[in-house]
Amino acid sequence: MLTLRAASTDDLAALATLHAVVHDAHARHRPDLFAGEPSPDALEALLTTRLSEPDVTFLLAETPDGEALGYAMARVVRREESTLFRPETFLSLQQIAVAPGASRGGVGSALLEGVRALGRAAGCRRLVTDVWDFNEGARSFYRACGFRPLNSKLEQEL
């Protein structure tokens, strides 16, 4: 059985361990953009800052005995009306991290459903996320969960 709960600063060690799974993959595929392994103190400070932001929620997925299997970080975004855009409140899924031994076991799907519930409770109309082109596993996961492309970011070396 898997439970989801809001993470707190008491969970920094678990969040840092899970974060390493995602960061290592990014740094491995794009070392030109992602720094190597962050120092534990710097990562703890970053996570502490994110946990304190009022529009950010970390959901932690854990076993009944408290083993952390994954987390999702989501941010409620409130956009004001402008000349070009309508006002909108939406949920931005900024990261899902799942422990390697728990992947393909429903942890990511449970976290995603928890994030959707957060968005509905916050009055969000939609959920958005982004995924790196090299991350075919994540792209496949999101497609299977009903996500569709919104836009594409392109790059070119100069």
pLDDT above 90 covers a percentage of the chain that reads 93
SS3 for 96-130 is EEECHHHCCCCHHHHHHHHHHHHHHHCCCCCEEEC
In the structure, what pLDDT confidence band is assigned to residue 37 with cuts at 50, 70 and 90? confident
Q: What is the pLDDT of residue 103?
A: 87
Exposed / middle / buried, residue 135 (Cβ in 10 Å: 0-12, 13-18, 19+): middle
Instruction: List, for residues 121-149, the tens digit of each pLDDT value.
Output: 999 999 999 999 999 999 999 999 999 99
**pLDDT value at 112 more than 90:** yes
* Neighbouring residues of 119: CB distance < 8 A, sequence distance ≥ 6: 74, 76, 90, 91, 126, 127
**pLDDT value at 36 more than 90:** no
Q: What is the pLDDT of residue 104?
A: 87
Query: Which is more confident, 1 or 7?
Result: 7
**pLDDT value at 44 more than 90:** yes
Instruction: List, for residues 58-110, the tens digit of each pLDDT value.
Output: 999 999 999 999 999 999 999 999 999 999 999 999 999 999 989 888 999 99
Q: What is the pLDDT of residue 68?
A: 96
Tokens 């987390």, residue located:
71
